[in-house]
Structure 1
Amino acid sequence: MLQVSPTLAIPDDELVERFVRSSGPGGQNVNKVATAVELRFDVVNSPSLPEPVRARLLARRDRRLTDEGVLVLSAQRFRTQDRNREDARERLAALIAAVLVPPKKRIATKPTKGSKERRLGAKRERSTVKQQRRSSGWDKE
């Protein structure tokens, strides 16, 4: 059972783990032992995800998300299979936890009186500079 939050847990039967050979550190062990983990989680068909969380997760347009709605995480940071498995599960939990809280709605605000005055003052200054350049008589001899 992968505990994402106090209210959300994902059963192990929804997670598909595949172990493959890893690149990177490990010496000759790399050629013999499948230490890298490929964790797959079907976001679209998961019964444990609430609908709003599923929608936000699919809307992220993450490159690790396949066209069928399966999230594929690859972990090969560590030299042991157990550590890589743990790492992949932690990353999945963090990814789901990030979309658990709905984003805040933006409240439209108006510019303050001071900011309007500063903007108009800057426009006036720029205008006078350009007018002075025009009429300052760059003589055309």
Structure 2
Amino acid sequence: MALAKELIYQTSRSCGKGGQNVNKVASKVEVGFNILLSNLFNPEQKEVLLTKLQSLITNDNLIKVVCEKDRSQLLNKQKAIEKLAHLLEKSLKIKKQRKATNPSKASVEKRLKEKQARAYIKINRGRSFLE
């Protein structure tokens, strides 16, 4: 993982389950990644990441991911790295352009027949033969 070499780690005490362990062990992990200083991405990819992830970027140009679910610092570190990798991968994925299409004649006819049948059921619902 070339990504792991460019990450900045920070640990602190986590809140939540763990009893007295919470007060002693720094299990919360913050992982920071600087897109601008990274050698992993070309300039176009960096530009895409900066625009798509601009709400997550701090004033220091870092993307920060926090994980404190587990009681183990190592597990939290691994999960934070996975979370960051997934975030970067998802941001770089190019979405397919949607092509507008028209419904086929058969599907239009089928929809209208179903609509007519439903209307017929509703018309006959409230009538009684004794009126």
Q: CA deviation at 1:73?
A: 0.7
Match of 1:66 among 53, 57, 79: 57
Q: Give the whole-Å Cα distance in 1 for the aligned partners of 2:66 and 2:109.
A: 54
Match of 2:22 among 24, 27, 30: 30
Q: Give the whole-Å Cα distance in 1 for the aligned partners of 2:72 and 2:107.
A: 58
Identity of aligned residues (%): 36
Matched, 1:96 2:93: no
Further displaced range: 28-37 or 40-49: 40-49
- One-letter amino acid of the structure 2 residue matched with residue 25 of structure 1: K
Over the aligned positions, Cα root-mean-square deviation in angstroms equals 3.0
Q: CA deviation at 1:111?
A: 1.9
Q: Give the whole-Å Cα distance in 2 for the aligned partners of 1:50 and 1:100.
A: 12
Q: CA deviation at 1:57?
A: 3.5
Matched residues, number: 119
Matched, 1:18 2:10: yes
Q: CA deviation at 1:32?
A: 1.6
Q: TM-score, normalised by structure 1?
A: 0.64
Decide whether the 8 Å contact of 1:38 with 1:73 is kept in 2. yes
Further displaced range: 30-39 or 54-63: 54-63
| Corresponding position of 1:75 | 67
Q: Give the whole-Å Cα distance in 1 for the aligned partners of 2:72 and 2:90.
A: 27
Q: Runs of 5+ in structure 2 lacking a partner?
A: 121-131
Q: Give the whole-Å Cα distance in 2 for the aligned partners of 1:56 and 1:30.
A: 39
Q: CA deviation at 1:28?
A: 0.9
Q: CA deviation at 1:88?
A: 0.6
| Corresponding position of 2:78 | 86
Further displaced range: 43-52 or 107-116: 43-52
Q: Give the whole-Å Cα distance in 2 for the aligned partners of 1:11 and 1:38.
A: 13
CA displacement 1:56-113 (0-9 Å, x = unmatched): 44444575x0354532111111111111111111111122222343111112212212
Q: TM-score, normalised by structure 2?
A: 0.69
Q: Give the whole-Å Cα distance in 2 for the aligned partners of 1:11 and 1:23.
A: 26
| Corresponding position of 1:41 | 33
- One-letter amino acid of the structure 2 residue matched with residue 66 of structure 1: I
Decide whether the 8 Å contact of 2:7 with 2:32 is kept in 1. yes
